[in-house]
């Protein structure tokens, strides 16, 4: 046979809770591993309200010159919370990009640290002891390499830990994505590559920045398990990540999950999406808002109503106010604090610089600073 098929594959798309807030009965049987209970959905919905309130308050802070450029998470709450809730706090690792605030907080990162980060205060990147969350990564794609390294270390140490790393659709056109995924899949590390496909790589639409019909299929070439889910469906996101986590724990290696979602705000507060996005497209996705969809579901179960919505929104607004107070009420940093979080054990030369506020080590060896002695005069 001169011609034969050597490889075939399909990419499945999963939706459990549709846009009308109706569950698929075949995919949501009670007791199925990874399927959320009503109590869990109620808990996550309240976290959605908090995340939206904190996000909207950050926008106001930026516009009033109290925060620098900020990327809103609005519209992507189900992707962050559903995935974060599926990971085990204190055991698994969260390696974020910059639209996973809610997942970071769920695993122990204080909300006001995220504010401090975008206020230009380096203390916002300080991770509390015992919290397995990496700092926010602004460079596109670099965090996937870090996640792969963490997962490889966990495998070598025989630790029961799984790493999830987040990125956008545009990041899959970066070399870091391909290098990280190739290494992770080749060495079978316990990692989940979670793409928040919000349809836009800043101002470039998905179909322009990649010829791939789906983002998920990019993992096929590396031997990863690949899946696409409705990213605004809390149930589908949680189930997909839960299954990928258990697969990794069992030695099954890497899974790439493409969560189809949409950023309802601008790329950042320095962007104006009205210049390149059709308003009709935005309105269509607004109707698929994950908060609206989850609320409709809870109302259909008798767990939520208009009165509870008003009370929940008020609690979320009050919570956002407390986050602002915590961030803006922090004492000014001391100059020596710039040394505190560079190393687990501070090298002697840095300790000397901190204590003397002088670059004594450079003075002892000027060549370290690239200095040269004065030329000989005739």
Residues tagged active-site: 263, 267, 276
* Contact of 54 with 111, CB cutoff 8 Å: yes
Phi, psi dihedral angles at 67 (to 5 degrees): -155, 150
* Contact of 172 with 210, CB cutoff 8 Å: yes
Structure token digits, residue 372 = 């040269």
Q: Which of 110, 113, 121, 67 is nearest to 338 (CA)?
A: 121
Q: Which of 315, 197, 204, 203 is nearest to 262 (CA)?
A: 197
In whole angstroms, how large is the CA radius of gyration of the chain? 23
d(CA 303, CA 318): 22
Instruction: Say which DSSP state 141 is in.
Output: T
Instruction: Say which DSSP state 213 is in.
Output: S
**Residue recorded with tokens 């904190």:** 54
What CA dihedral angle connects 13, 173, 58 and 68, to 10 degrees? 180
**Residue recorded with tokens 């505190």:** 340
Structure token digits, residue 164 = 């999830």
Instruction: Say which DSSP state 286 is in.
Output: H
- What does each C-alpha distance from 160 to 65, 157, 183, 190, 274 come to in angstroms? 44, 9, 20, 9, 46
Structure token digits, residue 7 = 């490889």
d(CA 227, CA 191): 14
* Contact of 257 with 216, CB cutoff 8 Å: yes
Instruction: Pick left, alpha or beta for residue 125 (phi over 0 → left; psi -120 to 50 → alpha; otherwise beta).
Output: alpha
């Amino acid at each position: 046979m001169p011609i034969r098929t050597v490889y075939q594959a399909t990419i499945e798309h999963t939706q459990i809770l549709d846009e009308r807030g109706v569950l698929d009965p075949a995919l949501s049987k009670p007791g199925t591993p990874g399927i959320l209970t009503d109590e869990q959905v109620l808990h996550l919905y309240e976290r959605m309200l908090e995340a939206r309130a904190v996000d909207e308050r950050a926008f106001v802070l930026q516009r009033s010159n109290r925060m620098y450029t900020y990327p809103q998470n609005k519209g992507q709450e189900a992707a962050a919370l559903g995935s974060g809730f599926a990971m085990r706090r204190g055991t698994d690792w969260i390696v974020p990009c910059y639209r996973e605030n809610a997942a970071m907080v769920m695993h122990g990162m204080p909300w006001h640290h995220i504010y401090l980060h975008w206020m230009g205060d380096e203390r916002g990147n300080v991770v509390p002891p015992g919290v397995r969350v990496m700092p926010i990564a602004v460079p596109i794609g670099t965090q996937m390499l870090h996640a792969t390294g963490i997962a490889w270390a966990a495998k070598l140490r025989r630790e029961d830990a799984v790493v999830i790393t987040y990125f956008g659709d545009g990041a899959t056109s970066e070399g870091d994505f391909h290098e990280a995924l190739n290494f992770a899949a080749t060495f079978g590390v316990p990692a989940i590559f979670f793409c928040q496909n919000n349809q836009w790589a800043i101002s470039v639409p998905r179909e322009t920045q990649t010829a791939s019909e789906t983002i998920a299929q990019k993992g096929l070439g590396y031997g990863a398990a690949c899946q696409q889910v409705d990213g605004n469906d809390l149930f589908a996101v949680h189930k997909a990540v839960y299954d990928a986590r258990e697969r990794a724990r069992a030695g099954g290696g890497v899974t790439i999950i493409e969560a189809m979602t949409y950023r309802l705000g601008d790329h950042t507060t320095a962007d104006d999406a009205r210049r390149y996005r059709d308003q009709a497209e935005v309105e269509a996705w607004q109707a698929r808002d994950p908060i609206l969809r989850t609320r409709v579901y809870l109302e259909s179960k008798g767990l939520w109503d208009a009165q509870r919505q008003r009370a929940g929104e008020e609690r979320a607004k009050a919570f956002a106010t407390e986050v602002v107070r915590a961030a803006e009420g922090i004492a000014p940093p001391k100059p020596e604090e710039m040394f505190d979080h560079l190393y687990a054990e501070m090298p002697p030369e840095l300790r000397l610089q901190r204590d003397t506020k002088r670059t004594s080590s450079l003075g002892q060896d000027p060549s370290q600073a690239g200095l040269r002695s004065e030329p000989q005069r005739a």
